[in-house]
Structure 1
Amino acid sequence: MDEHLDSFIVYLTMNRGLSKNTIESYSRDISSLAAFLDKRGISDPAAVSEPDIAAFFDHLRKKKLSPRSVARNIVSLKQFFRFLLTENVITEDPLRNTVSPKPAKTLPHTLSLDEVERLLREPEKGNSNEALRDRAMLEVLYATGVRVSELISLELNRINLDHGYVITLGKGSKERIVPIGDAAIRKVRDYLSDSRPKLLRGRNSEYLFVTSRTASKMSRQRFWRMIKDYALSAGIHSHITPHVLRHSFATHLLERGADLRAIQAMLGHSDISTTQIYTYVEKERLKRIHEKSHPRA
């Protein structure tokens, strides 16, 4: 199975233009199936049957995987076995009758404006080069709504502070231009003039945001820990991830009358239906205001 997985990963990398994170997810899901089948004495993809696949998904559900994670596994395996079919490795697709469930519509969690302000101010309680960098990173994240992978991979030559925009590389290696506001521009200028040279200590880096240890970009895991630590010290106890700031960016724009198509373009959504989830967030907010304020609600 491993050699076929390797061929599939090469195919995805060369032909599909998927992001590194997406390809890693595909690899994990297929490796999980391979390990499960190995315990059943199956190593040849041609020997995998529909009952084997059904047993694997039962196994995932017993492990308490969320419906969304199970649905992602179905997508990964469907793509893998379709690839094997086109490569004549198998003659029948064992997932041909497997239906991908529609994930339940869950509203994205967002921060209030007050919580965002408290989070953005929190790094300034420190007086270090890292604190200046962290403030600039949080400001850019909220100002642009970019994904965390796009933020940490942002290159120095892809931000234009004079004209106020960043050029980011999103999913599928799609490039987009996103405006960046004055507050973020000021913090990035402060970081570039004072903090970044001290973090680099004479070394060079193509990345905008660097660490002193590697003189390269910060890892996703480190940024996740950083934002959680700042939220906790700012007294924000609700669930928070870098993606929550992305959700907050979109929701706060919509609350102030931004066009949904403009938000779609800034977020890099290929389908407007993905962006429309934020309209439900706004409707729920208005409903709560009505219930709280209207005398006959």
Structure 2
Amino acid sequence: MREEIQTFINYMEEEKHASKNTTLSYQRDLLKMADYLEENGITDCGKVTKTALNSYILFLEKEGKAASTVSRALASTRSFFGWLFKEEKIRRDPADSMHAPKIEKKVPVILTVDEVTKLLEQPSGANPKEIRDKAMLELLYATGIRVTELVNLKLSDVNMSIGFITCRDEHKERMIPFGHAAKDALAKYLESARETFLKGTRSELLFTNYSGRAMSRQGFWKIIKYYGDRAGIEEDITPHTLRHSFAAHLLSNGADMRAVQTMMGHSDLASTQMYTAYAMDSAVREAYQGAHPRK
């Protein structure tokens, strides 16, 4: 079974062009499934039954795994056995009619405009690190891109003259505008700080770590956590918090939902619509504060 899993992972990388994070997630999920099946005497993919897979899912639930984790594991399992069946490596697909557990959607953490302002003011620009951090935070809030997209941006992806970045994922390419605050922070970083990190080397990456190499997602998570604490923000913020705040603030200020969907890179409009609750709440609050005689 492990050999088939590795062949499937190779297929995901080479033919489906899945991202490294996706393939690692699939591999981790499938190897955990293989461990469980082998412990129960099943080592041949052709002998896996729907009952065995249902038992595995029940095992994950009894372990106390979150519904989202169980759902992801099931998605990996279904993709794997669907591929085996399509490639005629098994006679039937045991995962074909399995359904994921219902996931309760959590309301994303969205900062107020004042909180975002405090966060962005924390890097004072007193040294190259703070200049870089300021540029990264400003660009993240200005564009709403994912942290993976931020740390993988190249110099060639930035058009400073018209204020646009080009963002790419495994499916498509999108252009996203950014305003004067992000432009000023980027210009200062490019002019006075970037070379400090490169130390005479060359890199196509826009942002790097102290060694002049790509910054990890975890590395940037620590940066935003640090400045969040300095700003006195009580919410447990992550890089995705600025992405959520970007979308919610645009919608609350009247931005077109389809335009926000395009900038966010959402394939489904429903993913963008979840921010309308914040926008409506803000509008109601402003109407009350502006009109109530005892506001």
What is the aligned counterpart of 2:196 among 198, 204, 207?
198
Aligned to 1:274: 271
Aligned-pair CA distance for 1:230: 1.2
Q: Which moved more, 1:273-282 or 1:237-246?
A: 273-282
Aligned-pair CA distance for 1:33: 0.6
Q: Secondary structure at the match of 1:109?
A: coil
Could you tell me which amino acid in structure 2 is paired with residue 230 of structure 1?
Y
Determine if contact 2:144/2:263 at 8 Å carries over to the other structure: yes
Cα 1:161/1:42, change in 2 over 3 Å? same
Q: Which moved more, 1:153-162 or 1:271-280?
A: 271-280
* Structure 2 unmatched runs, 5+: none
Determine if contact 1:207/1:217 at 8 Å carries over to the other structure: yes
Equivalent residues in 2 for 1:80-99 (5 A)?
A: 80-99=80-99
Aligned to 2:164: 165
**Residues 108-128 of structure 1 deviation map (CA, whole Å, 9 limit, x = unaligned):** 21111111111111121x622
CA RMSD after TM alignment = 2.0
Matches of 1:161 and 1:135, distance apart in 2 = 17
Q: Which moved more, 1:59-68 or 1:236-245?
A: 59-68
Determine if contact 1:129/1:195 at 8 Å carries over to the other structure: yes
Could you tell me which amino acid in structure 1 is paired with residue 184 of structure 2?
R
Aligned to 2:233: 236
Determine if contact 1:107/1:280 at 8 Å carries over to the other structure: no
What is the aligned counterpart of 1:176 among 174, 177, 189?
174
User: Which structure ranks higher in relative contact order (CA pairs < 8 Å, sequence separation ≥ 6)?
Assistant: 1
Matches of 1:280 and 1:114, distance apart in 2 = 19
Q: Secondary structure at the match of 1:65?
A: coil
Q: Which moved more, 1:139-148 or 1:284-293?
A: 284-293
**Residues 69-119 of structure 1 deviation map (CA, whole Å, 9 limit, x = unaligned):** 211111111111000111222112221221123422332211111111111
Aligned-pair CA distance for 1:291: 8.3
Q: Which moved more, 1:126-135 or 1:179-188?
A: 126-135
* Structure 1 unmatched runs, 5+: none
Cα 1:289/1:162, change in 2 over 3 Å? closer
Aligned-pair CA distance for 1:43: 1.6
Q: Which moved more, 1:107-116 or 1:57-66?
A: 57-66
Q: Does residue 75 of structure 2 align to residue 78 of structure 1?
A: no
Determine if contact 1:74/1:100 at 8 Å carries over to the other structure: yes
Count the aligned residue pairs.
293
Identity in percent:
42
Matches of 1:204 and 1:130, distance apart in 2 = 18
Aligned to 1:133: 132
**Residues 189-236 of structure 1 deviation map (CA, whole Å, 9 limit, x = unaligned):** 1001100011111100010001122x1220011111111111112111
Normalising to structure 1: TM-score of the pair? Answer: 0.92
Could you tell me which amino acid in structure 2 is paired with residue 209 of structure 1?
F
Q: Which moved more, 1:217-226 or 1:62-71?
A: 62-71
Determine if contact 1:260/1:275 at 8 Å carries over to the other structure: yes
Q: Secondary structure at the match of 2:12?
A: helix
Q: Secondary structure at the match of 2:275?
A: helix
Matches of 1:248 and 1:129, distance apart in 2 = 27
Matches of 1:284 and 1:49, distance apart in 2 = 49
Q: Secondary structure at the match of 2:176?
A: strand
Aligned-pair CA distance for 1:144: 0.3
Aligned-pair CA distance for 1:249: 0.3
Aligned-pair CA distance for 1:286: 4.5
Matches of 1:8 and 1:68, distance apart in 2 = 23
Could you tell me which amino acid in structure 2 is paired with residue 15 of structure 1?
E
